[in-house]
Amino acid sequence: MTSANPASRPSLVERAQKLYPAIAERVPQVEAQRHVHDDSIAELIDAGLTRALQSSIYGGEEANPAEFYGAVAEVARACTSTGWILMVLGVHTWEMAHMSRELNDEIFGEDPTTLISSSYNMQGNTATRVPGGFRLSGSWKSSSGIHHAGWVALGANVPGEPAAFNFVVPVKDVKVIDDWHVLGLVGTGSRSVVVDDLFVPDHRAIDRDVLRSGFGPGLKDNLGPLYRVQQGLIYTSVSSAPALGAGWRFYEEFKSAFSKSATVSRSLDGDRLMLVRLAEARGNLSVASTVPQRRLNEGYDAAVAGRQMSDLETIQAIYDISRNGKLMIENAANLFPTLRPNAVYQSSVMSRLYRDLLVARNHGTANLDERGEALAMTDLGLPGSLTLFLPPERRESARQRAEELGYL
């Protein structure tokens, strides 16, 4: 597989592995303060991990997304919340490469390590067209990484427009509400954002269908294959890679506890059911470790070759990447009830990982029902679509609008 990752530098995964001890040591503090430790963010930036998917125009690596996926999983093994934030902040640099050069210069011109958070929930959030841009108002939940970001991407409906829009605004222009009191992924600091009648110029906004169909204005400047990979493959990784890392850590912690138990030291004859459960968990981890990265490699290699993946190939890939949340929570649900009572304490590593996996499974990118329906319909030759992958007629409409705007 081809990648823009410099051969002279350690791989993304190797860099992530080097950070493991320090990030793992900070977990209690991350949980207590409910956002990722500032030192961890600095280390992720210094290692180049937050810029893995960033345009080379601003010093990014334009790496194969499969490599970034693996690095995120490694960070999530140390701390699920930190891995989650790395993935979220990382994919936003990919999105920015699709947007206007003027916006990218504003964000990255003075500081190319600037971070961008987001919240794409459009419920009750609207923007009104005005000369030169939009007036944006609303309240957005769960902006992961807002504590560390300089900019935030927000989704909203625009009356009279055929599609919703994404708006990228400075964090200094929004109100951040510290309301992230949740079951799991406690350390992501995914706080709410409030905007009151904020003017957003045209160059900081993009038609969401145009973005998702791969017709953004930034592609005139960003010609690398990374930005020809379908958005659904990139964004579906948001919950999948952190879940994989947390799933491996849960399995490792469980196996360690099991191997040290008095039962194991005496005999395994009475633990055949446990051995079967361990084998099933290992099997799920094998699938979760190989299939998503294979799908990402296929998407990247297709882009390198200049080949457009078919709708069935794309939706199959999105479905396969999404399955990690389900597989990892199944592992935890099967193994956790067999632990000793002290596992239920919040201080328990496996308790934290279980809660993290529950919340990761609840993310929109882990919605297997939507993806399964679209996959089955497409396989049957019927029109199928996803939030992150539009049907052909909407893609064509988006292409026409992009052409009218001079993006193509």
For residues 232 and 388, is the Cβ–Cβ distance under 8 A? yes
Of 113, 145, 162, the residue that ends a domain is 113
Position 3 pLDDT exceeds 50: no
Mean pLDDT of 239-260: 93
Q: Which domain holds residue 103?
A: 12-113
Residue 2 lies in a domain: no
Residue 216 lies in a domain: no
Residue 212 lies in a domain: no
CATH number at residue 109: 1.10.540.10
Q: Based on the fold, state whether residues 200 and 240 are members of the same structural domain.
A: no
Residue 385 lies in a domain: yes
For residues 374 and 389, is the Cβ–Cβ distance under 8 A? yes
CATH number at residue 316: 1.20.140.10
Phi/psi for 143 (5° steps) reads -90, 90
Q: Based on the fold, state whether residues 399 and 265 are members of the same structural domain.
A: yes
Q: Based on the fold, state whether residues 396 and 385 are members of the same structural domain.
A: yes
Of 58, 92, 113, the residue that ends a domain is 113
Q: Based on the fold, state whether residues 302 and 366 are members of the same structural domain.
A: yes
Which SS3 state, helix, strand or coil, does residue 142 take? strand
Tell which residue, 80, 79, 85, 86, has the closest CA to residue 23. 79
Q: Based on the fold, state whether residues 76 and 134 are members of the same structural domain.
A: no
Q: Based on the fold, state whether residues 107 and 153 are members of the same structural domain.
A: no
Q: Which residues partner with 168 through β-bridges?
A: 153
Tens digit of each residue's pLDDT (9 = 90 or more) over 39-77: 999 999 999 999 999 999 999 999 999 999 999 999 999
Mean pLDDT of 321-349: 89
Of the chain, the percentage scoring pLDDT greater than 90 comes to 83
Tens digit of each residue's pLDDT (9 = 90 or more) over 164-202: 999 999 999 999 999 999 999 999 999 999 999 999 999
Q: Based on the fold, state whether residues 20 and 133 are members of the same structural domain.
A: no
Tens digit of each residue's pLDDT (9 = 90 or more) over 207-245: 999 999 999 999 999 999 999 999 999 999 889 999 999
Domain count, the chain: 3
Local confidence band at 2 (pLDDT 50, 70, 90 cut-offs): very low
